[in-house]
Amino acid sequence: MEPIVVGGTAEEIQSGSPYHETDLDLCGVVAPEERAVLRGLGFRKRGRHWFHDASKVAVEFPDTQIDGDEDRVERIRVSGGIAAMIGIDDLYLDRLRQATAPLANVEGSIEFHSALAVAAGGFDRIDRRYVLARIRQIERSEGRIGERMRQLDSRIRRRVQRALAPEGAAGRQ
pLDDT digits (tens, 9 = 90+) for 85-143: 999 999 999 999 988 887 655 667 788 888 999 999 999 999 999 999 999 999 999 99
Tens of pLDDT, residues 63-83? 888 889 999 999 988 888 888
Return the domain boundaries, the chain: 4-29+64-164
Say which amino acid occupies 139.
E
Residue 167: what pLDDT?
A: 64
pLDDT surpassing 90 at residue 164? no
Q: Radius of gyration over alpha carbons of the chain, in Å?
A: 18
Widest pairwise Cα distance in the chain? 61
Question: Which pairs count as long-range contacts for 34-41, CB under 8 Å and 24+ apart, including other chains?
Answer: none
pLDDT surpassing 50 at residue 173? no
Residue 19: what pLDDT?
A: 63
Q: What is the spatial distance between Cα 57 and Cα 52, in angstroms, rounded to a whole number?
A: 5
Residue 142: what pLDDT?
A: 93
Residue 154: what pLDDT?
A: 95
pLDDT surpassing 80 at residue 147? yes
Query: What is this structure's pTM?
Result: 0.81
